[in-house]
Structure formats: C-alpha cells, structure tokens
Structure 1
Amino acid sequence: MNSSRAFLIGTGLLASSMAALAPVSAQAEMVLNRGNGSEPGSLDPQISEDVPASHILRDLYEGLVGEAPSGDIVPGDAESWTVSEDGLTYTFKIRDDAKWTNGEPVTAGDFVYAWQRAVDPKTGSEYSFLLAPIKNAEDITAGKKDPSELGAKAIDDKTLEVDLAGPTPYFLGLLTHSVSYPVYKPAVEKFGDQWTRPDNSVTNGAFKLIEWNPQSRIVLAKNDQYWNADSVKLDKVIYYPTESTTAELKRYRAGELDWTYEVPNDQIKWIRDNMNDEFVVSNYLGVYYYGFNMTKPPFDNAKLREAFSLAINRDILMDKIVTAGEVPAYSYVVPGMNGYDPVYVNFKDMTQKERNEKAYKLYQEAGYSKDNPLTVEIRYNTNDNHKKIAIAIASMWKSVLGANVNLVNEEFKVFLETRKAKEKTQVFRAGWIGDYNDPNTFLELWKSDSGLNDTGFADPEYDKLMDEASKEQDSAKRMKLLESAERIFLDANAVAPIYHYVTKHMIKPYVKGWDADGKGHVNVLDHVRSQYLYIEK
C-alpha cells in the first residue's frame, strides 16, 4: 500500500539529467490515510446512524453551518442567518457559489427536500428526532401530518425559512449532524437505494466519493466544485474500516495509516513508553454504558437491573483495562455542561464493598442466589476493547452475584439490528457520543418514541419533562427540567453507565491542521473534518 506523501517526483542523478533537458516540477498527491473503525452502515445522510459513517459524511457533505477545528459553529452552505426576537424563526441565506459535485447550484429547496425526507416515516430515519424542534416535525414522524407541512420552506432558491415549535438554543448545533445535510433529489429518485454508490453519488462537501470497497477502503477525492475548494489542501482521503484495534495499530506502525480510529487498551502503556509523541488523548462528549432490555425477562425486573449495575467495579476497569484517562461514569449526561448540575446514580458515594453487598441483596430479592444463579448474556459488537471489558464485567458478576455470563459478539451492522429488535438482547454494550454540546443530546435518546431507544425504557413523566424542556424559554428552568428527567432515567437503571470517554488517536507528526486548541487536543465532539488537514513532509 502506497504511503508516500507530497514527495517531489524525480530525485538523484536521473532527476538532475532530466532537469537539464526540461525543468519539470511534479508533486505527488497529498493523501491522508485514516483508520475508521467498523464498516459504515450507510452513507445516506438521512439514514446513517454510526460514528464511522459520520466522519465520512462530514467530508462528503456540508450543511447550512459547518464547524471550525475547535468545534465552533461557522457558516457552511449558508453564508449568513438571522433569528427572530422570539427565537422561533431562522432565515438562512444560501451562498451563491454553493454547488453540487455535478456543478448544479445548491438551493434552499435541496434542504427542504432532505429535511422532509428525514422526518417522513417511510424513510425510516433513526435520527429524525434531531429535527423535532422544527414545527410539525414530531407530528409528521408520528404519521399525523404530511411531510409537506414541515416548518421549513424555500422563500426562493437562496433563502430558507425555518419555523420552530419552541425556542431551541442548540438549534444551530443540530445542523452539524448529517440528518440535516442536503441531498440531491434527482440522484435519490433515479437510483433508489443505490444513490450513495460512487458512480451515482452527488454531494456538496469538500470531497467527493470515488471508490467504496466494503471492508477494504473508501476513497474520497477533493471536490473542485466546493465553494471553498481553494482552502482544501488534501487531494484524497482514504478511510479504512478496521474493527481490530490491534490490527489498526500494526498498520499505523507499518506506515499504512496516518491516523487511527482508536487504540487497543492493552497497548496503551507500550504506546506511552515508545510513541507518546504520536498518542493524542482528548476529552470527549460521550458515555460508555451497558443497556438492559427492559421489555423481556429477566431485566424487566428493576431490582435485577440495579443489582447488575452496582456489581460493576468501575475503578478496576479504569485502572486495569480502560487506561487512557477515562473517568468512571455515575451519570448518563457527561458532567461539565454549562448551566447543568450533574445528576448521579444513587450509589455514587458508596464504597464498592457496600455496592456489592446491596447488589447481592437485590439479586436475592429478585429470586436468585449463588445456589440458584441467573444465566445472562452480554452482547457486544466485534472489537478488542469491548471484548476485554465484557470479560472483566462477566467476572465481576460471577464473583459478586454468582451469575453465569455468556458473551456474544456480532459484526457492527448486525449488532445494531439485534439491539433494535429487542428479541435476543439481555445486556448489550453501547456508547453515546453527543451530537451537540447540550444535555438534550443525551436525554432525548430515551423518550419512549425514540428510534434509538434500545432498552425499551418508557416513562410518561420522563416524556412530559422532555416535552416541557423543549418549549421552555428560560435557560435555567429548562436545565432543571432536564435534570429531573435524568433523575427518573437513572433511578430506573435502564442502563449501567460505565465510563465517560476520551478520544484516543495515533496521529503521525506530519499530519497538521487538526489541533483544536493549540495544545494538541481534538475538539470535544471529535469532529475532525478533513478539509482542514494537510500533510507536511
């Protein structure tokens, strides 16, 4: 695999001789090789739901707004916008030079089409809830209104007006998510579910799709039609799906990758000792957790869910297995968001000995004991790190409760479908990465009608609080409503929070442009857009 970067072609005596005949200066393509975790499930902006796909979609598409390397909101295909005094109407001005890869202009109607498509139940978007703040969106996804009634309309080709159901202070942040990206209607209608293939793909971002070999690589090339193409330095970005973090590190050390998706936890000490200058650890707006299927026995039993959560020794996991600086999680929402007082599980301040004792008592009250053990199954997607965590937690549950634990791993796409079906799952590995910097990005997942609510948690009071928060204009009151909702969710023990993430990447010293703060950190959302990156060799 060719890993050369920005080398001048022609060196040595032959180059000198040729230069004497014809002074030619050629330069190799500037190519970035990025490890990218699992094979993306879809590159359809309104269908995609996984993190690996989101990295690619941020390169292929641009929404109304973009993000600076720091994560700050910047103009995207909208060069400007205004907000009404009541916060209910946003008016976006689409830039005149915004184009699709085929040279056609990007219009306000392209956004209207994409958003109506996203909330249309026929599309089956699991992320339609992100557009819920838009007027009539929830009624449309519920099948009560037609998609044409969505509160987004094209005043003309370059003016988009959006009416919200209530003030939404994080609305611009929502527009960085792929569900809000425009799509090219002629391609969607002509090619159906094949419209995202390289030969059919029409996109509007800094790069275009030129190759997709499943489980091998996805190649993007610079899009010369992009309005800001002059600022894009990379000629190509090649994404490599690699589920084995150990194999990914080997490829990185061999020079086949310039950037890894993550690193194997059991290699972190070696990395710190031998390659620490290439190891980048940053705070991350995410939580790693185990979910319980509440819709079926045995975890329809609240005491059992709490017992299994109590029996997880999070400190041991952080000390022995997850060792890059992750923090044990006793909340679902990542602590530290402005104006939000963290809400914690009721056992946060107990010692692990006290937790274990309470866990076994609840286990007995649920009808089990070491003489009458429960057999449970932990299901996780294929990944070295997930496997090591599952093995450790299985050992804890055996030691503390006497439970018999079986481990089942599945390829990522199959795993997601299994979770959604809620037929086979008992306990499943999961993680949630914030889509924008607000508690709502974590809590909206657990509304009873959320397409990503894989536990089956449903509480009318929770839904009521979330609905009230979505309409509350007073920021402090809104945060209190969200805190009350998280209290209900944590008390239900629908999930066992395990740790709050950090991002862990290996990055070659010659890769530049990613530093979000001048101190060697990636932004808290880990949104690293290739349009800012370049190779310096």
Structure 2
Amino acid sequence: MPKQLRFLLIVLVVVLAGLLAAGCGGGKDGKDAGKQAAEQYIRYNLGAEPETLDPARSTGLPEGTLITHLLEGLTRYDANNVPQPAIAESWDISPDQLTYTFHLRDAKWSNGEPVTAEDFKYAWLRALNPETAADYAYQLFYIKGAAEYNSGEGKAEDVAIKVVDPKTLEVTLKAPAPQFLGLTAFPTLFPINAKMDKENPEWYKSPETYICNGPFKMVSWEHNQKITTVKNENYWDAANVKLQKLDFLLVESYDTAYNMYRTGEVDILVEDIPTQEIPQLKASGELKIFPDCALYFYRFNVEKKPLNDVRVRKALAMAIDRQAIVENVTQAGQKPAFGFVPYGIADADGKDFQENSGNAFFKEDVAEAKKLLAEAGFPEGKGFPKLKLLYNTNEAHQKIAQAIQQMWKQNLGIDIELVNQEWQVYLDSMDHQNFDICRSGWSPDYLDPMTFIDMFVTEPPENNNDTNWSNKKYDELVKKANATGDQKERMAAMHEAEKILMDEMPIMPIYYYTKPCLIKDNIKGVIIPPFAVYADFKYAYVE
C-alpha cells in the first residue's frame, strides 16, 4: 500500500474515532457523559393507579409520592427529615410566631413561566374552597380565616395569605404552629399554575396539560400500567438532578412486582414485597428495612350495628394476636401497636411521644374480649351479624385480613366476610363510609403528633376521620393544642386526646410499619423517608 494512501486511511480512522467520541458526549474529560446520561434511568413500582394527581384532592401515598416529584412547595424535606428551602429561598418568622414571610427564588414552571407568590395563594385558596371538597383542607386551618372560608362562614379575601410582590408571600397564623413550616412541604400546600387552572380546570388529568415546577415532568400516562417522567430542565435545582428518566410502574400485585424486580424490569421496590419472600431476603442480606413512622389499623364504622357499641369494638381489638401477625405474616420488623401515634415523633421533653405513652392504652385479653362481647348481647358470638371487612386489593392486606378473620372466629365465635376493592374504588368506599370494618394505614404528613391526632376531629365534614365517630372533649383538646405554641401544653393535650381515642376505639391499631425495600446495587441517592412518601428520587442516580 502506498505511504500516501496509508497516511490518508490513518487520518480518516482518527477523524472517525473523534466523531464517534464526540457523538457519545463526555465524562470527566468529555469521554463518558453521553453514556452516563443514557444510563440515568430508574424504574420504580408505585403500585396502585393514582386516584388523582391534583395536589388539593390527593390523599394516598401513591398520589403523594408521584406529586412530590412533579410539584414542589416552599420547602422540601432532606435526608435527615428536616424541611429545607425549596421554592422559598428563605423565610422570616415574626417574634410572636404568627407571621411567616416567604421569599421565593427565581423558579420556573415547566412551560417556562415564573413561579410566583400568587400561584401559592391561588392553590391554597383553591384547596380551601368548599367546592373543591379537599380532604386535607384542614391542613391550612392554621392560617387565620382559613377554617371560616372552608366552612362557608367566611370569605376568601379574609384568609390571611398576602402576596406582597411576585416573589414574597406573607402568611398569618391564628396561633403559633411549630408544624406549619413542615406542612409547606406537603402536597396540599403545593402551588399550581393559576393561569392553567383557570383555562383548564382538569389540567391534572393529562401529561400534555400537567404544568409542574418539581424535579421531574410527566410525559406519558398509560393508565394502570405506567407513568413516565423525565427531568424537568426548568426546575430551579436541575443541576443537582441526575436522573434523565423515572418510570412509575402501576403494578398492584406484589408477586408480579417482585418477579419484575428479579427479571430486571424494576429497579426498586418499597414495601411491595411478597411476605413469603421476606425470610430468605433477610437471610441473604438483600432486603433493606428502613424505619417508617406509620400505623396499620382498622377503622370501625361506628354508625353500623353492633359496631356502635364500644364494648364490641374493644372486644374485636382485644381478641387478636398482633405479635403473631408481625412474626408470621408481615415478617419485616414491624411492632405490635397498642396506641395510635407511632414511634419516631418527639415529645416536648425530646423523648419519643409513644414511648412516653407506653404503647399500652389497651391489652390483648381473649377472656375479657369474650366478656365484653357477652355484655353487648353476643355470648360466644351467638347472634353476631356477619360484618364485612374491606381492604384494597393486595396480597399482604389479604393475608393479614385472613389471619384476623381466623382469630375472631376462634376467639370470639364470629364470622367476618372479607371484601377487596381496587385502590380508587376502595378510597371512595372509605370516604363515604360504605363499609363495616375497613383496613387503613396512616403515614404522617409532617413529624408532629398532630398529623395523627387531628384526623379524628368532628369537623370539617371533608376530613380523614372516616369512622363517623365524634367526641366533644377530643375536639376541644385538638383546639387547645392548636391554640398554643407551648410544646408542653400542646403535647399534654395530644396525649389526653390519644387516650380518649383509644378508650372509645373507633379504630383498632394493629402494628407500626417498617419500610422493607429491594434496591439494585447500582441505584444510589434514593431517600426513603419515614413519612409522607414512599421514596424521593430527586438526588437518585445510577452508578
């Protein structure tokens, strides 16, 4: 081969190699970034099809988890469960702890429009509007005039939310509320694009109209299959978001989700792990168990006979073996629950709130349970109607329900029918009290006992009580706790309220959750918080 031709071929090879390298992007020195970017993709199983992606109307963990990635509030919790500046760059709190002034950063919506203080005010008033029928509207009742507007006794203009300028939001509370700052990281208090909502009130139902301000944006929604999100290039902190794509799979079956994890179709599972697989996963060290400040419990519809009799409710609560359930059914380190507020929330003295209570509001006692049931008119279970126990479709819930069904049969001589419904139908049944007994779980919206205690106030009508239970003294204690910034006084009132709740037993605590997880070894930076959401992928990446 002539030297000239050989030289030309060498040059051509070098040029082509350069072009190929350029096409692949660069890493530390421009060599691997394209490859790295292409790999920044995580598939996470969310589980159920979201009931709604409207932050004002969402109530469940599947909805909250997804919304927290699409939208962002004034603050965002970090890996240490402390609210950090998010859309609010900073804030000032008045000496009397009543006025919060939030200073917004230069943030944008996914369509490029600026996020303004007006967007927050509009979203908060929308959640409070009685016509919205937001279950979580009461989370805004700390604001002066908010409860009155929601009840129809006040006006929107009297709610103490003031837009000082496009980047300054001023909020006045009716009493000091130490938990308020953490609440600003909760979906009900997220902003929405006011212009879009006015033009299209159903914007949250479609990826094409879902204007967001969070780290990710939705690009497709295959109902009951998958929701695909990608990095939101207009997010204010996009430089620290490494993922390019995040899929939320909508697989309700734990067995199916686990098989998908095994075959590489899913990268991370949080909680949705078949119970029969847990022992060997624990033994192998593959299973990671994170703390979870949440409660698994059953609600009683106290308007349904014979559940309107507290003796019956107590008998049902006392006649099951919680230790057997957590050891033989759930098997992931859960603790039997004999109180309402879970472990993991600080009391006024800095100790654990539930530890101070002793987790001992009642005890398991089959003989006493039989006695109570007999006093209520059902000796040995004779004449007891066949009540229905409702749970959302899920193998784990089914196994727990079957175990409790058997315990009630064996210990009390009563028969219970098990009824399962898909997530959205189940939520609607629970919201409208179309049940006798209903499986429930509650994860805190912020780390304060009030996120549990205020669930069971009588008003507003649209809240998360869902038992038809009401107690005037309980309501007064919640008001007392919300009327002071004195932590000793607040906590004392909530301890007393919890005692009333457990004495009257409109709910039956079963166990305190943990978060068993399976995470591929190359997935890093995922935050698994003990409350509010299943997982936070803002800082996640593929190694």
Query: Same fold per TM (> 0.5)?
Result: yes
Deviation track 1:458-517 (CA, whole Å, cap 9, x = no partner) reads 0111001100110122111111011111111110011110000001111111110125xx
Q: 1:266 Cα shift?
A: 2.0
The counterpart of 2:389, out of the listed 378, 381, 389, is 378
Residues 480/21 of structure 1: CA separation in 2 closer, same or farther (3 Å cut): closer
CA distance in structure 1 between the aligned counterparts of 2:529 and 2:359, rounded to whole angstroms: 25
AA of the residue aligned to 1:457: W
Q: Give the structure-2-normalised TM-score.
A: 0.91
CA distance in structure 1 between the aligned counterparts of 2:314 and 2:532, rounded to whole angstroms: 32
Pairs within 5 Å for 1:209-224: 209-224=218-233
User: Which residue is equivalent to 1:524?
Assistant: 530
Does residue 100 of structure 1 match 2:109?
yes
- Aligned to 2:420, the other structure's residue is in SS state strand
User: Which residue is equivalent to 2:469?
Assistant: 457
Pairs within 5 Å for 1:338-349: 338-339=346-347, 340=353, 341-342=356-357, 344-348=359-363
- Aligned to 2:144, the other structure's residue is in SS state coil
Residues 40/271 of structure 1: CA separation in 2 closer, same or farther (3 Å cut): same
- Aligned to 2:357, the other structure's residue is in SS state coil
- Aligned to 1:260, the other structure's residue is in SS state strand
Q: 1:17 Cα shift?
A: 11
Q: 1:270 Cα shift?
A: 2.3
The question of whether the paired residues in 2 share the 8 Å contact of 1:307 and 1:360 is answered with: yes
User: Which residue is equivalent to 1:3?
Assistant: none
The question of whether the paired residues in 1 share the 8 Å contact of 2:293 and 2:344 is answered with: no
The question of whether the paired residues in 2 share the 8 Å contact of 1:38 and 1:243 is answered with: yes
The question of whether the paired residues in 1 share the 8 Å contact of 2:76 and 2:85 is answered with: yes
User: Which residue is equivalent to 1:294?
Assistant: 302
Deviation track 1:98-149 (CA, whole Å, cap 9, x = no partner) reads 0001111111111000000011111111111111111111111111112222
Residues 297/373 of structure 1: CA separation in 2 closer, same or farther (3 Å cut): closer
User: Which residue is equivalent to 1:437?
Assistant: 447
User: Which residue is equivalent to 1:10?
Assistant: none
CA distance in structure 1 between the aligned counterparts of 2:210 and 2:74, rounded to whole angstroms: 20
Does residue 305 of structure 1 match 2:313?
yes
The question of whether the paired residues in 2 share the 8 Å contact of 1:344 and 1:490 is answered with: no
Pairs within 5 Å for 1:81-480: 81-95=91-105, 97-262=106-271, 263-274=273-284, 276-277=285-286, 279-339=287-347, 340=353, 341-342=356-357, 344-348=359-363, 352=364, 355-370=365-380, 371-422=382-433, 424-450=434-460, 451-480=463-492
CA distance in structure 1 between the aligned counterparts of 2:390 and 2:56, rounded to whole angstroms: 27
The question of whether the paired residues in 2 share the 8 Å contact of 1:284 and 1:503 is answered with: yes
User: Which residue is equivalent to 1:4?
Assistant: none
CA distance in structure 1 between the aligned counterparts of 2:179 and 2:66, rounded to whole angstroms: 23
Deviation track 1:321-357 (CA, whole Å, cap 9, x = no partner) reads 0110000000000134222332645433xxx4xx100
Residues 375/58 of structure 1: CA separation in 2 closer, same or farther (3 Å cut): same
- Aligned to 2:297, the other structure's residue is in SS state strand
Residues 85/374 of structure 1: CA separation in 2 closer, same or farther (3 Å cut): same
CA distance in structure 1 between the aligned counterparts of 2:321 and 2:506, rounded to whole angstroms: 18
Deviation track 1:263-295 (CA, whole Å, cap 9, x = no partner) reads 122210122234x23x22111110000110002
AA of the residue aligned to 1:363: L
Q: 1:19 Cα shift?
A: 2.8
| More off after superposition, 433-442 vs 188-197 | 188-197
Q: 1:69 Cα shift?
A: 2.3
User: Which residue is equivalent to 1:45?
Assistant: 55
Residues 448/345 of structure 1: CA separation in 2 closer, same or farther (3 Å cut): farther
Q: CA RMSD in A?
A: 1.7
The question of whether the paired residues in 2 share the 8 Å contact of 1:69 and 1:529 is answered with: no
Q: 1:29 Cα shift?
A: 4.7
The question of whether the paired residues in 2 share the 8 Å contact of 1:368 and 1:374 is answered with: no
CA distance in structure 1 between the aligned counterparts of 2:18 and 2:370, rounded to whole angstroms: 83
- Aligned to 1:359, the other structure's residue is in SS state helix
- Aligned to 2:503, the other structure's residue is in SS state helix
The question of whether the paired residues in 1 share the 8 Å contact of 2:319 and 2:407 is answered with: yes
- Aligned to 1:237, the other structure's residue is in SS state strand
Does residue 501 of structure 1 match 2:516?
no
Unaligned stretches of 5+ in structure 2? 1-12, 25-33, 348-352
Residues 236/21 of structure 1: CA separation in 2 closer, same or farther (3 Å cut): closer
The question of whether the paired residues in 2 share the 8 Å contact of 1:40 and 1:52 is answered with: yes
CA distance in structure 1 between the aligned counterparts of 2:539 and 2:208, rounded to whole angstroms: 26
| More off after superposition, 302-311 vs 23-32 | 23-32
The question of whether the paired residues in 1 share the 8 Å contact of 2:139 and 2:183 is answered with: yes
User: Which residue is equivalent to 2:5?
Assistant: none
The question of whether the paired residues in 1 share the 8 Å contact of 2:293 and 2:343 is answered with: no
- Between the aligned residues of both structures, percent identity stands at 35
The question of whether the paired residues in 2 share the 8 Å contact of 1:92 and 1:159 is answered with: yes
Q: 1:190 Cα shift?
A: 1.7
Q: 1:526 Cα shift?
A: 6.2
